Structure formats: C-alpha cells, structure tokens
Structure 1
C-alpha cells in the first residue's frame, strides 16, 4: 500500500521495492530441502516479482503443462517473506491433508507449498517459493460476466471461502486482503477456487496467544481500500472478524456490481465512515446496493452475525455456512460443486457511473503494477455525492464521531463500530497495499 493514507486508492506500486530480473528458461533453483527445480518461461509479472512455470529438475525442458509455479522476488522485498512465513507454518501438504481428513472435506482453497529458498545470480540474491499451478483469477471472470455474478455462484463462493478461512484462522493466521483478483480457479479443476497472495497475512494468535486490540495511526487503511475491514481502517491489526467483514463486502459487490463507496476510493476517511454507517444500519446499506430488486436476506443475516463478533471472538463458522446454505434453498438451488460463471440477465442493480479521469488513471495505474511501468498520480475530483448530495471533498471527508477505543475493540452486542491474470499460479495484482512486517 502507498506510504501515505491519502493515496490509499487503487494501483499504487509498493515504494522502494526492487524489481526482479528475468531468468532464462532452464535456470535451476535449489530449495532449503536440497530439491532442485527447473524454471520454464515467466507467466506472470508484477511491480516487484515474477512467476515462472516450473518442474522438478530433469533433462527435459519445462513445458506448458507444468504442474508447479515459482514466485521470485529480490530477497530484501517484504511481501514474499510474509507469504513464506504463512506457507511454512500453515500450508504444507501434510497439514492440509490432515485438515481435510479431520473436517471430512474433499478440497481446500489454499495452494500447497512445495519448497522455498534463496538463489544467487550475477551478484544478486533472490527469494523464491514453489506452489501448485493455478488457473485464471475471479476478477477476470467478474469482468467477463459484466461485473455481476449470479446469486447461486456468490453463495457457493462464500461457502468455499468459509472453509478456507476457517483453516487459515485455526492455524493462527488471517488473510486480510480477500478480493476477486486474489481468488484463482484450479488449473486442472476450474470448479475449485483458491485464496492466494498472503503478502498481508497476519499471525493474530502466535502460539495461541491472541493479540490485543490496539489502534496504530501509521497502519490506518491497510489492505485494498474498497474491501478492507473497519479494524484495518482504524489502524488495528486484522483479526478473524476482519476477514469475514471483507468477505461480506466482496459478496455484496459480486451480487450488485459496485459498493456505494467506490465513487471515492481516493478518500480513505470517507470510505471508512461509509463502512461504519453500513454496519450501523445493514438493512439501509443493502437497500442502497439493491434499489431495484429484493435484498438478499441471507447476506443481511450474514453481515449481522459478523457484526456481533468481538475483536477476539472465534467466528461461528458452521452457523455462517448454514446462513449461506439457506440462501441457496431460498432460490431453489444447492451447492452442486459446479461454479457457473454466466452473465446475470438485466441491467446492473447499481447504475454504472460515468468514467472520470481519476478512475481512468486508477485503472491505468493498476495495469502498471502488473507490468512494472511508471504510475501517474490521479487528480481527485472537485465534487462528489454523499447520500445524494453534492459536497466538496473537504466536507465529504469530514469524519463522523466514532466510538471510544474500548468500545471499538470489544463489542458483543449490536456493533456501532464498526496479474491482471498473472498466472497459472499466483496473483500479483494487489492494489493499495502497504508493506507489512511479519
């Protein structure tokens, strides 16, 4: 994420991170377990890393049917180091297999980690990580569907992500950056979806000891601005309820096409306060999102359940799954394990706004993150609409009076507080992120 909160919109390249140089096909990397891996051609490129097709080292060149990918970054960069901490502690194949058996699951949306290490070339040191090869990301599918997913599909995705988040949470981590571009379909099974990019993953309970709620002004708005949790907006470290709140925003966007605060993503205070108001009256928030059709009742119940959680509460995963399953029953559907990405009939629920120069610049900036090209700063619009009334940015950004820190941190009752398709492997398109220490 950008170093300044005011620039917390889309598409800012991480500051002061070195770019990875491209290795030729056939380069051999040796991981910490002494296993050698041969690189194929690069299949993904971001502002600070490269992704290659890969296979265990042999005399054969790496072909287009490769089963693995390797993500490479200069060793001093932070995101891959953070990812590796997560993968080595929580996503080794034996841990995933043990969880699948214990939970009676067939699949889990966490890529398997196969190795990592450091590689020296031309006097420079690089860090690398090997995981399963994956397919296309959901952001591309979302755009292909006209930026609206069918209700059945959204509920299926929600159920898959609940399984994934429960696994992550039970292994002491939260993801903190759930979004369509960080969700990828399986390479061999397009009906499976994987949560990727753990560069912002946070160990909320090291050795089982929960972190306390504490706001840090230097960490405000960390994450991807349109989806980030209210905890993160206030500078508190992410927790389990944070992930579920992000998931609820994603599901609403997938259903209606656009979140109400997406018109002013360059103003993080406005976005934060809009989210706080949405939590104070979830019914009214959903009426804004679905003005021309019935509100999805299950989404309201889901958000209310998440809203009732305290900072350190363990989420009721089974209860949340039941809510989404009841939503499927209400539309006479069931989770048949098939993800159907079909356009929704009719016009988008929220009318599309006229593209502004700022929006065009933000989109261009996001593309630059993927290809490493320079990013130009977007100029903020002079006026915007807040609850249907045009106001100046200064007036619109004026924060509402918030609750005390104590009530923000602990609340059990009604809560007032509130690339590009990089690869067959990992998404490098992470918009608006900050460097996070592990």
Structure 2
C-alpha cells in the first residue's frame, strides 16, 4: 500500500518485493500511472483547484508532483505542496486518507496548537483530495504539505549517532505528536528516523509522516481489546516494532511509546543489540522481552557505564508500567526527558543541531557504528478494514534493502491516499 511520503517515495524508487516464501503473498499487480504535463489542474472534493508542477517521483503505482493553488502562474521549484496521483483502480490510499481527514485537517491541528500553547505540531496537514479524469481514465489524488530531508539520512551522515541533546529534543517533539494523534483515536505504529522529515522551510521543525500502519485504537472512544493474532505477528519495522506487534496484537498507545524508546536508544548509541539478527523475528521479539524485563541490563548492552543516559532508562521503565488500554502520562514522560537535558547542562531551545557523533553521546558497540543493518519491513495490504487500519495485516512484503535517494520533497513517502 502507499503510505505517506516515506512509503510513497520508497515505492516510487523501487518496485515492491514479495515477502519471503511461506509468509504470504505480495501485493497484487497494479496499473502504472501516466504522467500529467505541468499545468494540469485538479479539482478536489471541496471544489478547490490545484495546479501540478514537475513530477518529483515515479514508481509502479503513482506519481508525486510539486503543486500549488491554481493560478495563472507556473508551479515553480519553490512550490509549498505536493500531490500524489495514481489510477483510481489501484486503491491503496483509502485507509490512510481516513486518518488524514479525521485527524489532520489544518483547522483541527491549529485548534490543538492554540489550546496547548504550541509553536508548531509535527503532524502533516491534509489539504484536499479527489478524483480526476483524463483521457477516459480516472485518477485519485491527495494534496499534502511539502517537506525536506528525512532524519535517517541525517543519521547516516553523522556516523549513525545523534547528539544527546538532539535525541531528547526529538523525543519531546514526538511526545507532542503522539499525544495529539492518540487523543484523536489513532496510533502511528511505525516511528523511525526515515519517517521523520524536516520542514521544507524551517530546519528546526520535524514532522512524523507515513501513516501506512496507523490504527484506530479507539473508534468513537471505545478502546479495542487485547487480542493476539498469529497472522499479524511482527508487523511494522522489525528493529523498532513493539512487543505487542510481535505477538500479533493490534497497536495501542504504549506501543508507540515503546517504539519511541527503541528509536531514542538507537539514535544515541548507533545500534540496537538485536540488529544483527533482524531476519529472525522470534529472536528480535525475545530480545525485546528481555529488555522489558530488565531495562538496566539492556541499557548496559547499549552504553558504557559512564555514558548511560539515565533519562532513557527512566523513560522505558515508565512505559513498561502501562497496560494495553492505559492512557500514558505524557507530561511525566516529558519531564523525564527535560530532566535529561538539564543533567547535561542544556535545555530545549527549539534548535535541532545535527553534529558529528562524539564519544560523550554514550557509544554503543563501536565496531558497529558505521555498519548499516539490514532492515526488514512488513507492510500489509488490505482494502477496507473493520479495524480502521491504514495498512492492515492481510498481505505482507519486505521493504527494499537498497536505500533510495530522497527527492526534494516532502512527506517522505506519499500517504496511502485511498484504497479501493
């Protein structure tokens, strides 16, 4: 399925691969998108017109274009929007569109920011969607904000380590984002550096994109019950996915926070202890269970004694106390990370500084710092789901091992705009 920028671009760069034998079928073959000429005008469901610029990504399912509101002017390289277009018969965008229409409308985000006295919130805004006919064919499209580079690229550029201050700041930004989407009945379920994009105009703002696995855990306020499903085991990006996901349980709020904990540890020490065996999901699951059972021992595997970040251990200890349906104490978690900033003599100054890795970060296994681990990504394809899953676990595939270039965009992977 197509997923917000990151997944879109990934699919725009390489065709999807089927998962290993015995793990299910790959996604059905879909029609190729035809390229529209610059200047093509699309009208969304609210009758607003949008003009396409040059395409900035192409793949088996669709195209991603620079875009702007319709006017007599040509859409230039400084366009503030992007539009994802694909043949309507393909249908992988419907579920994710549900998330954007429910939780990412600009006025909804602005209202939250105002009531919580926030300068910005790193949730991409939904600007419109619709159907477009050309040459007797129908196409679906969605209008999104344009973004800059992703943090995975920054992570690799800095020797696979981020400064401790930056890691804690990113944790604080993500707590803001997660509290917002959780309060709007969804969990993300796929937090990682490649799904975090810098603003196109402000390098100190970061956005969580790719809601391809987003799950509506509390439709109309009614919490889903804990239920293990062997067919759904290990969904997500395996090095970060939650223990619940490893057991085939639908993601919940604690799942997002558990994933965030793994991300922060990796960003600080360069490599999680189980990254050498990502092709063995049971080993990864058991390693995470051991981590949950003894967080202190886990931290000792990742950091030297003098560099162990106490705040990350406290963060993970707090998350492990949550039951499946518990509402997290977001402010308590923020306080833990803020205390970490204070302990290193700094504070959150709203500036994200990506500097080269230094020993004071708390180095993990040094021999692995420059070693890029293989990633196994399970993406599920399902059309409409009773569980309101953006990418529900029906059919799975591996993500390409080869990294593609991140074009000059946006929501790193175009969202699954619709699904048939």
Normalising TM by the smaller chain, what interval? Answer: 0.7 to 0.9
Report the equivalent of 2:290.
277
What count of residue pairs does the alignment treat as equivalent? 380
CA distance in 2 between partners of 1:261 and 1:95 (Å): 39
Report the equivalent of 2:85.
72
Verify: 1:148 aligned to 2:161, yes or no. yes
Unaligned runs of 5+ in 1: 364-374, 379-418
Instruction: Note if contact 2:88-2:138 (Cα within 8 Å) is conserved in structure 1.
Output: yes
Unaligned runs of 5+ in 2: 2-16, 377-397
CA distance in 2 between partners of 1:213 and 1:354 (Å): 37
Shift of 1:43: 2.1
Instruction: Note if contact 1:173-1:202 (Cα within 8 Å) is conserved in structure 2.
Output: yes
**Match for residue 426 of structure 1 among 408, 411, 416:** 411
- Asked which structure has the greater RCO (Cα within 8 Å, sep 6+), the reply is 2
Shift of 1:208: 0.5
Report the secondary structure of 1:189's partner residue: coil
**Match for residue 185 of structure 1 among 191, 195, 198:** 198
**Match for residue 349 of structure 1 among 361, 364, 380:** 364
Q: 1:222 to 1:73 in 2, by over 3 A?
A: farther
Q: 1:376 to 1:232 in 2, by over 3 A?
A: closer
Shift of 1:77: 4.3
CA distance in 1 between partners of 2:326 and 2:21 (Å): 31
Shift of 1:121: 3.3
Instruction: Note if contact 1:83-1:201 (Cα within 8 Å) is conserved in structure 2.
Output: yes
Shift of 1:353: 4.4
Report the equivalent of 2:6.
none
Shift of 1:18: 4.3
**Match for residue 158 of structure 1 among 127, 151, 171:** 171
CA distance in 1 between partners of 2:400 and 2:409 (Å): 31
Moved segments of 4+, more than 4 Å: 1-8, 12-15, 76-79, 353-356, 375-378
Report the equivalent of 2:235.
222
CA distance in 1 between partners of 2:117 and 2:369 (Å): 48
Shift of 1:265: 1.2
Q: 1:300 to 1:16 in 2, by over 3 A?
A: farther
Shift of 1:101: 1.1
Shift of 1:49: 3.7
Q: 1:3 to 1:215 in 2, by over 3 A?
A: farther
- Per the normalisation by structure 1, the TM-score is 0.79
Shift of 1:345: 2.0
Report the secondary structure of 2:237's partner residue: coil
Report the equivalent of 2:107.
94
- Per the normalisation by structure 2, the TM-score is 0.83
Which deviations, in whole Å up to 9, do the C-alpha atoms of 1:217-271 show, x marking residues without a partner? 1111111111111111111111111111111111011000011111111121111
**Match for residue 323 of structure 2 among 277, 292, 310:** 310
CA distance in 1 between partners of 2:20 and 2:419 (Å): 18
Shift of 1:123: 4.2
Instruction: Note if contact 1:44-1:423 (Cα within 8 Å) is conserved in structure 2.
Output: no
CA distance in 2 between partners of 1:252 and 1:146 (Å): 15
Q: CA RMSD in A?
A: 3.1
Report the secondary structure of 1:71's partner residue: strand
Q: 1:23 to 1:142 in 2, by over 3 A?
A: same
Instruction: Note if contact 1:241-1:306 (Cα within 8 Å) is conserved in structure 2.
Output: yes
**Match for residue 84 of structure 1 among 72, 76, 97:** 97
Verify: 1:299 aligned to 2:284, yes or no. no
CA distance in 1 between partners of 2:308 and 2:273 (Å): 15
